[in-house]
Amino acid sequence: MAEGFNTEDMLDMYLFENGQLLEQLQDTVLEQKDADCFDEDSINEIFRTMHTIKGSSGIMMFDNITAVSHKLEDVFFFLRESHPDNVPHLELVEHVLHVEDFISNEMEKIRNGDPVDGDSSDIIAELDVFLNRIKGVEGEPPAEKEKSAASDEPKQFYIAPVATSESHFYKIFIQFYSDTEMANIHAYKTVYALKEIAEDLLYTPENIISDETSSEVIMKDGFRMLLQAQAELDEVRAIVSEGYSVEKVDVKECSAQEYLNGFREDAGDVHIDLDSSVEAIEARAGEVIQQKKEEKTKIAPGDFVIRAKEPGKQKKLAKDKPKAEKASFISVNVSKMNQLMELIGELVISESVVLQSSDLKVPGLNLDNFNKAAVQLSKISTDLQNVIMSMRMVPLTNTFQKMNRIVFDVSRKLGKDIEFEMIGDTTEVDKNIIEHISDPLMHLVRNAVDHGIETNEERAASGKKQKGKVTLSAKTEAGKVWICVEDNGTGLDRGKIIAKARKQGILDETRPDSSYSDKEVYQFITLPGFSTNEQVTEYSGRGVGMDVVVRNIQEIGGVLDIESTPGCGSMMSLKIPLTLAIIDGIVMETGGSSFVMESGMIKEFVRVREDMMVHEPDGDEYVMMRGECYSVVRLGEWYGLSGYKESVEEGMMAIVEAEDKRFGLFVDTLVGKQEIVVKPIPSYIKKIKGLTGCTQLGDGSIALILDPGGLIG
């Protein structure tokens, strides 16, 4: 490459685009893992994906990725061309996923700045054996051939323009999508791909690697190539075809003389017709220009274009049909999005400071105009906040597909026949939330496959005819997202869990087993070191996993709910917030301190009379309302504050719902509703039960954000 060329942008683009391709590859493979074979579209898609990754990896000199993608490309080229019947489908699926894993691991090394030193020789050897078997070739592949495949690395090359009687000549025109970035690199991918069959290859613009401005020329005028090769037209079209970044490709075989004429600048108009000779294009272009001048008042420029000629038909002028609007995307660094989120948070705080300023409370001030402006400011800041939040929202599709992969891998290793179903995978949540739930979901899905689903023999013995099934679903409700992992396995054994809990000293010795509800018993499996498995396996039995799930979920203000029916299966439900950044909160005061609770947690505020209270000898308090009895938490007493109101008739009772339980939270006064910017409690402060964060109020004071789950724990 030319000296001084910026390879960092190329590397970022390489990682981004190939990461997208690998995700699409995994989705395609997992969607058809239960079929008898890949359909033709999937075979073509996987072939193109491997071809693209091979070309881009060759440009970046990642030899091992190039070699392994080339070998898998060979497999799917054979499948596409020969359509063999003896292909073991599940084995092919595993080979594709192994290649995907290998490339993903190498790309992770690239992101971390580590050497890309993974050994692809074993995978290539396995693919060679597989390919020879479906070709009907017995025995292992020759070692020399294997070595050649493993060392198939990109090199600088020179193609001598020596034509033979077998040589063909082609004109190629490529047009990229309007939102394609670094089109010059995409163009070079095509050049690199064609070099394997080319005897001679010319292209314009020429300096596509050393001159970054060539990208603008390519986007405006397209990328044109002249190819001399001993290859048929279909083979060239297979290499150069529409795909990830390419919107249109024209490949036309031409004469040797047309090839020798090279590129004509005056023929490089916006509309390029590769079906005719250069002289015919020039003549027709002159006629069209003259016609436009004469009929300027009748035909608006751009209304008509010359359409390509169909076999046996003359060229004709055709009215352009309006194209559907194409969505345009750009990739943004996550750190910039986080910074933008912090700025909107500061804007919300500043807005509260301005609107709640004590200077506005001076008697006699006429604030009509100010109030109008304040309303408009609040509307704009709210809309801005919603837009920024939507930018951070991403669908759960990729996370769910990773779980699909886990079910496939674990079920194959355990020899269980399991079906995986996804429901609501397009549900969108904050990106930070997804980062926190990936590991918990992985543990829950593995447990469903290992603990929940019985072996095929056990299911048959119990009369279950259908295969095992794991369902992963998501839905949004009242600012929360519910993610459920459900299986149709054996369910949780209440007696076994209680026996294990009593053995470990978890249960109250004075309390009978029957007094524990099913939900209380099932929550024991989330305690550290708790496991009912007698044998330690690769996936379970060590008593770790579920406690990690609960801890990670609680860190983002979520809860884990467990339901189970013996013999029918279990359902693990995660209830987590849609976002961690800005919430609607209720501000309350107790003992001179301010507290905030998410408004969705509070069901109602009530004034309580003393005769509604029930006082137990052990100090516990309850409030009777409409025939229901709720336990009471006095916030001032809970945190040892001074100066809080002791009489319930002087304060306010908030009925709070958390983890399917309701309780009364007694506070001194209710301040009001406010948008709250959630800030983490500084690390130098010891973690306090019942608190999940802090925020700044409009008057500049600090308020603590309450975690209802911690108040009833």
pLDDT over threshold 60, residue 220: yes
393-406 mean pLDDT: 86
pLDDT in tens, 481-496: 889 999 988 888 888 8
Q: Mean pLDDT over all residues of the chain?
A: 78
Give the three-class secondary structure for 605: strand
7-31 and 89-112 helices, crossing angle to 10°: 160
Strands of the 480-487 sheet, one edge to the other: 418-423, 468-477, 480-487, 569-577, 559-565
H or E stretch covering 131: helix 121-135
Residue 210: predicted pLDDT: 67
Residue 262 buriedness (CB in 10 A; 0-12 / 13-18 / 19+)? exposed
Strand blocks (E) in 269-398: 304-306, 317-319, 393-395
Strand blocks (E) in 184-275: 198-204, 223-229, 246-254
Residue 283: predicted pLDDT: 62
- DSSP label of 451: I
Residue 291: predicted pLDDT: 56
Confidence tier at 685 by pLDDT (50, 70, 90): confident
pLDDT in tens, 296-344: 444 343 343 333 334 433 333 333 444 444 445 666 777 788 788 888 8
Q: Do strands 593-598 and 582-590 pair parallel, antiparallel, or not at all (unpaired)?
A: antiparallel
210-217 mean pLDDT: 79
**Residue 263, both tokens:** 């590129």
Residue 663: predicted pLDDT: 92
pLDDT over threshold 50, residue 683: yes
Residue 206 buriedness (CB in 10 A; 0-12 / 13-18 / 19+)? exposed
Residue 627: predicted pLDDT: 87
pLDDT in tens, 75-119: 998 888 888 888 888 889 999 999 999 999 999 888 888 888 888
| Closest listed residue to residue 251, CA positions, set 275, 278, 282 | 275
Give the three-class secondary structure for 79: helix
Confidence tier at 643 by pLDDT (50, 70, 90): confident
Spell out the residues 6+ positions from residue 627 whose beta carbon is closer than 8 angstroms to its own.
Answer: none
pLDDT over threshold 50, residue 149: no
Judge whether 131 and 75 are in contact, CB under 8 Å: yes
Share of the chain above pLDDT 90, in %: 10
From 408-417, 454-463, 533-542, 625-634, the region with the lowest mean pLDDT = 533-542
The DSSP line for 643-662 is S----TTTSEEEEEEETTEE
Residue 496: predicted pLDDT: 87
Residue 472: predicted pLDDT: 93
Residue 666: predicted pLDDT: 93
Residue 423: predicted pLDDT: 92
pLDDT over threshold 90, residue 677: no
pLDDT over threshold 80, residue 161: no
